[in-house]
Structures are given as C-alpha cells and as structure tokens.
C-alpha cells in the first residue's frame, strides 16, 4: 500500500485492492472520489481529512482522483463528485454525495465506524465493579488521552471517583459533560449522588448519627442520614439496607427520597452489579 503508514493516502487501480478492500478488514476506509477541477471536492477534501484524523487510527481516508482512475469510479457507480463511500470488511456500509456540513459528515462516519472503545469501556466497567480500581482508572484515562471528549469514558471515570470517595474530582468530571451530550442525563444522576456527602456532613458524621439512631431507631431522617454516610464510606450494602428499611416503613418518606437514593446507588454500582441486581429485586417487592 502506498504510504501505508499514513492515515490519508492517494490510491489508484494498481493498489486499490490492497489499500482499500484488504485494508477495510482492519479499519474503516473512507473513500473520497474527487477531481482537481471540482470546486465542491476542494471544499470537502480538507473537511474529510480533519474529521478522519480526529477520529483515531481505526479510520483511514483513501482519495481517488476520478480523472486518473475512471475504472474505479465506474466500478463503484460514481455518477457525480464529490462522492464518498465508507467501506468496512470489503463492503460499502455508508455513502453520501456532495459537500455536506462537517457535523453531518462526522455523524455519518461515526455511525458507520461504531465505537472502537466499547470493548475497553466494558472491561473498565467490569474492573471497577470488581474493586480493581487502579486497573479500571488506567483504561479510562488512556481512552480520555486518546479522545478527551469521550463522554462514556468520562462517565466511567466519574463513577469510579465516586466509588473511591473522591467527590470533588467526580463532580468536576461529571459537570464537564455538555447538556447536548447523550450521556448528560447519566451524568446528572451521578451528580445527584454527591448529596450523600453533604447530608452526612450536615448531620454530624457517621458516629454522631449512629448514636442518635440508637436512641431513636424510628427516626427516619436519622436513618436516611446514616444511609448517606454508609454511601460516602463506600459501604453500599449497608447504605442500600438503610434506605430499604425506610421504604418498608414509609414508601413516601420525604417525597420518595429513599427510593431515589437507592436508584442513585444502582447508577453508581452499575446495572450488572450483584448488589444492584439483589436490591433492585428487593425494592420491587416493596413497591409492587
């Protein structure tokens, strides 16, 4: 392949099979059919290059000059230029014609490429659930070094910082996610869990709250505060237990505060956590 080390390269009939078809089994190949005389092509070219290089080395841009490579253009039924065809595993998975806006081009290519970090994110989430915090953090931070705007990795790292008790770091990470991002609602849920620390501190801390509860075990406000302290201390099973006890005694306590607290803890732990699965079932029994 000509200039195979580069992410952007020219191709011809001589190297098309190797540079595009064969290469598409290792990465996504964006094929730009263009010509020097084509003004829209000259507009589109730099945009394609910018988008492709920003999305990582799992995507490459192959440029085909149709004046010099009419056979390739005929083979791919190119009727007008600029035309872009996205190839993966030897077949066209997406295509468009004309100089589209950059955000639309980015969306089309991203949709065709999928999320190359998904496996790494799943692995990091599993490590975090298993208490292997350092290993999980290394993966999240590596992903963010490669793509600083990766909101899924930001969410993962923010959740991890909550698990580790680093509330300010978690707040900073989760607050950075834009309202326009699809992960924003998840970030807001996780941010709401930071109130556990505020409640625990306001009510005097773990020891003082335990003492009050021993004197007045029916006080649901005190029990709620204790659940918050357990959550802050990463003792999630005891926290869930306290909130569930409140629900058993009064489902509507403080406008459903205990139920909301449990749901927030499920968000921290993740849907596949053993604690989440067990306590979600216990919660359902009480509510339904």
Mapping DSSP to helix (H, G, I), strand (E, B) and coil, where does residue 187 land? helix
Provide the token pair at 18. Answer: 């190797």
Encoded tokens for 111: 């949709």
CA distance 94 to 116: 17
Q: Taking the CA of residue 238 as centre, how many other CA atoms within 13 Å lie in the half-sphere pointing to its CB?
A: 14
Q: Mapping DSSP to helix (H, G, I), strand (E, B) and coil, where does residue 212 land?
A: helix
Phi then psi for residue 50, to 5 deg, are -65, -45
Q: What is the DSSP string of 221-248?
A: HHHHHHHHHHHHTT-HHHHHHHHHHHHH
20 and 8 Cβ atoms separated by less than 8 Å: no
Residues known to be catalytic: 38, 41
**Residues ≥6 apart with Cβ < 8 Å to 267:** 159, 186, 189, 190, 193
* Strand partners for 270: none
Alpha helices in the chain (DSSP H): 16, 39-54, 70-75, 102-113, 118-129, 133-146, 151-163, 167-175, 184-192, 195-202, 206-215, 220-232, 236-249, 257-269, 274-287
Pull the structure tokens for residue 141: 């931070």
Label the pairing between strands 83-88 and 28-34: antiparallel
């Amino acid at each position: 392949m000509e200039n195979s080390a580069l992410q952007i390269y020219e191709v011809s009939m001589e190297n098309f099979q190797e540079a595009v078809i064969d290469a598409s089994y290792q990465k996504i190949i964006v094929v730009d059919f263009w010509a020097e005389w084509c003004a829209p092509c000259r507009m589109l070219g730099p945009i394609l290059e910018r988008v492709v290089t920003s999305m990582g080395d799992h995507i490459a841009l192959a440029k085909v000059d149709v004046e010099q490579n009419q056979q390739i253009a005929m083979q791919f039924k190119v009727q007008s230029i600029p035309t872009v065809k996205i190839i993966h595993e030897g077949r066209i998975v997406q295509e468009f014609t004309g100089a589209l806006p950059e955000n639309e081009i980015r969306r089309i290519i991203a949709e065709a490429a999928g999320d190359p970090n998904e496996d790494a994110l799943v692995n990091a989430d599993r490590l975090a659930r298993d208490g292997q915090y350092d290993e999980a953090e290394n993966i999240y931070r590596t992903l963010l070094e490669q793509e600083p705007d990766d909101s899924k990795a930001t969410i993962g790292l923010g959740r991890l910082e909550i698990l580790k008790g680093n509330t300010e770091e978690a707040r900073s990470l989760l607050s950075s996610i834009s309202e326009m991002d699809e992960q924003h609602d998840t970030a807001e849920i996780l941010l709401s869990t930071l109130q556990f620390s505020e409640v625990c501190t306001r009510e005097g801390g773990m020891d003082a709250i335990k003492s009050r509860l021993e004197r007045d075990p029916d006080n649901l406000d005190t029990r709620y505060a204790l659940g918050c302290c357990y959550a802050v201390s990463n003792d999630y099973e005891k926290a869930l237990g306290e909130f569930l006890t409140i629900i058993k005694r009064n489902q509507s306590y403080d406008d459903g505060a205990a139920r909301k607290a449990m749901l927030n803890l499920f968000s921290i732990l993740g849907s596949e956590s053993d604690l989440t699965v067990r306590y979600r079932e216990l919660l359902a029994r009480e509510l339904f």
